[in-house]
Structure formats: structure tokens, C-alpha cells
Structure 1
Amino acid sequence: MKKVYSVEEYIENNSHFGEELTILRDLINNTELEETVKWSAPVYSLNGKNVIGLGAFKNHFGIWFFNGVFLKDEQNLLVNAQEKTKALRQMRFESINEIDKNIVLAYVEEAIENQKLGKELKPERKGKTVVIPKELQKAIDNNKNFQKAFNALTPGKQREYCDYIETAKQEKTKLSRLEKITPMILNGIGLHDKYKNC
């Protein structure tokens, strides 16, 4: 896809829906949203937060609501474009005749109001839970200083140590690995810290 530097250029590149996009653009530009171009498409923001985007495809065009999940959608016009998107909703049109300016404006104004109220889905941290191997758990339970030192590590460092012990096939290897990492944990050092500083 060709990089777009202005909304005019985007509309020109999608001339099969040029008139329709211009109608929606004019409608949005009559609100307090600020027009920008992000990801080579028109995006409208409020205080630096993305609220709405315009999009045109082969057979349809529409408005993206970045936090559309919070819209009441009384007209039942919004679709979840992809399974994995939690907050994003799209209002799709196939022709100019489907645009009802009053309804579109009502949705846009509600989206602006929601943004002002701070309604937004925060992206979920994909932090995996740390599963502590029994050998390490035993060491943690038997030594308060060790327990304190382990708990002070970041979840990522804790996970590295857990994986290091868990991936050993034999019990004696697990115990020798535990012996090796105990002073590192007590000193607050991550398993791979020496490589990260190179």
C-alpha cells in the first residue's frame, strides 16, 4: 500500500468513494476533533487520543471508532471488523445513499463524549503467569532472604529462572541449576543480565 501524507491524497487514492469520504470528512471536521494521517489513513483525535478513523476498501467505506465498544449503537450500525479487536468498531457503508448525516454525527459526538469521560479499553498486558518449579518453590519456602530476593525480581526475570530449572530433564540437573542461580537471585541479578549489558 502506498504511503499517504494527507487526507486529500487518501481520498484521491480511493476515488471510487471520493464523494462519500468527503461527506464524512466534512461532517467530522465540523466537530472539535483534530484531523491527522496515521497508518496512511485519516485519523481524528482529541487531546492526542485517537477517536475516529476513515477507511475505504474495494466494496465499502466507513468510520472506525477506536473505542466503539462503548457506543450505545442504538441503530445497530456497528460491526466488529476482526475477532481479535476488543474496542474497535466500524460503521460500514456501501453507497452514498446509506449515509444519514444526523445519525453519523450522533455517533461521532457520542465517541467524543466518551473520550472526554476517559472511556477506553487499555491493551491487556500479555504477561504470562509465573509457574514456579517445585525445586525452586522449596528453596523459596525454606529461606526468607531467598524468598524476598526472588519476589523482588521482575516477572520476566522470575520466569527466566523458572524456565531454566523446568527445562532440565533430570532432577539432579534441576538441583545443580538451582545451586548455580541461588547467589544470582540473592544479588538481584537476572539469569541473562550479563548478556543484556554487552
Structure 2
Amino acid sequence: MASDPKVDAYIASRAEFARPILTWIRARFHAAVPEVEETIKWSHPFFTLGGRPFANMAAFKAHASFGFWNRQANETGKEGEAMGQFGRIESLADLPDAAEVERLIREAAATLGEGKPARPRAAPKGEVEVPPELAAALAGDEAARATFDGFPPSCRREYCEWIGEAKRPETRAKRVGEAMAWMREGKRRNWKYENC
């Protein structure tokens, strides 16, 4: 059993009624899934598998709780009573027997990551329209134009949006002047924040 000293300290600092409950739950996780790892996250003991959140447990003034990260994997009907799927745990009698809890833990481990919808990919942004003021300035400056053309689309977009969002002509002219000076030096729009 690979235990984390921070979890030992957490259990030792809890109320007397909670210590045997937390110790028992912890033992069930290590018995059911020996490769489970322990840590403290959000001030509570957490179990992870392969670096992925798996389950957590906690103790409060009058009850303890534990539950699985993927709540849909093991619904018990007590989810609304307290944090986790097993409601308010005031004694070991409030939990299923060891064999049942270990079975639930193995099931949750087997389904870890299942049912999680794939994150949709953002549609690629098209090439941005170059503001007329910037286009005119670039036409008359070969060095700045070469830098601008050599930038990836995101860098060109930053300059174009920055100039295009200016409402007053004076502001646009000032931004075009700054942009041209920076591009002559080969600098991106946010060059001040690079390599910080």
C-alpha cells in the first residue's frame, strides 16, 4: 500500500469518530485497486489513477463522506445528502460491506474516463482582413512587410485586430506607427510579454 504522509496527517487530525471510517475507506481503495495513488487536493484526501482524479474522501464535524470523481459510474441514491455518493457517513454501519465497496471501486476504476465527451476542436480562424491603414503602411516599407508576411496567422491577426479595434482615426494612425516600428525590428504585437 503506497500511502501519502499528508493523508496520514489528514486522518490523524480529524475527529475521533471519523478516523476509523477514513482508514477503512482508504484500505478498501488499496485492496481493490493496488495501483491507486493518494494525494491531497482541495484540502481533502484524493485518490488518483494514472494521474487522473478517481475518488475523494473527507471528514467534517459530524460526518464523513466519500465518492467517485465520475459520479454517474456508481449512483447510490444518497448523492444529495452530502458530498460524494454515499451520503452522510457517521459510522462504518452507514457503508456497504467491504466486498461491495471494493466491487464498486473496481467498477469505477474500469470506467474511469468513459462517458467523458470529447472536447470539440475549435474551428480554425481564417485569415484576418488587414486594415486599410496598415496595408498602406506595409506597402511602403519592405522590412516591415517581410516581417508581417513571415508571421504566423495568429501574429498577423493580433496586429490587425489591435489596429482595427481603434475607434478614432488618430488612435489608428498611432497604432500603425507603433506596429511598423516594431515589425521593422522583427517584433510581434505582444513582444513585451515574451520570454518573461
Specify the TM-score bucket, using the shorter chain as the normaliser: 0.5 to 0.7
Number of equivalent positions: 176
Q: 1:161 to 1:95 in 2, by over 3 A?
A: farther
Which letter maps to 2:39? Answer: V
Q: 1:118 to 1:186 in 2, by over 3 A?
A: farther
Q: Give 1:72 deviation, angstroms.
A: 5.0
* SS state at 1:105 partner: helix
Which letter maps to 1:61? Answer: A
Q: 1:17 to 1:138 in 2, by over 3 A?
A: farther
Q: Give 1:187 deviation, angstroms.
A: 7.9
Asked if structure 1 preserves the Cα contact closer than 8 Å seen for 2:129 and 2:160, the reply is no
Q: Give 1:161 deviation, angstroms.
A: 6.2
Larger Rg: 2
Partner Cα distance (2:185, 2:117) in 1: 38
Q: 1:175 to 1:183 in 2, by over 3 A?
A: same
Q: Does 1:99 pair with 2:91?
A: no
* Partner residue, 2:36: 34
* Partner residue, 1:173: 171
Q: What does the per-residue CA deviation read over 1:20-61, in whole Å, with 9 as the maximum and x for residues that have no partner? A: 212212211211242423235432222333312221122432
1:1-198 correspondence runs (5 A): 5-15=5-15, 16-32=17-33, 33-39=35-41, 41-66=44-69, 68-71=70-73, 73=75, 75-78=76-79, 90-91=84-85, 92-96=87-91, 97-101=93-97, 103-115=100-112, 136=131, 149=151, 151-153=153-155, 158=157, 162-163=161-162, 166=165, 168-181=166-179, 184=182, 189-194=187-192, 196-197=194-195
**Normalising by the residue count of structure 2, what TM-score does the alignment of the two structures yield?**
0.61
Partner Cα distance (1:23, 1:189) in 2: 60
Q: Give 1:10 deviation, angstroms.
A: 1.6
In structure 2, list runs of 5 or more residues that go unmatched: 140-145
Q: Give 1:17 deviation, angstroms.
A: 1.1
Identity of aligned residues (%): 18
RMSD after superposition? 4.5
Partner Cα distance (2:32, 2:132) in 1: 58
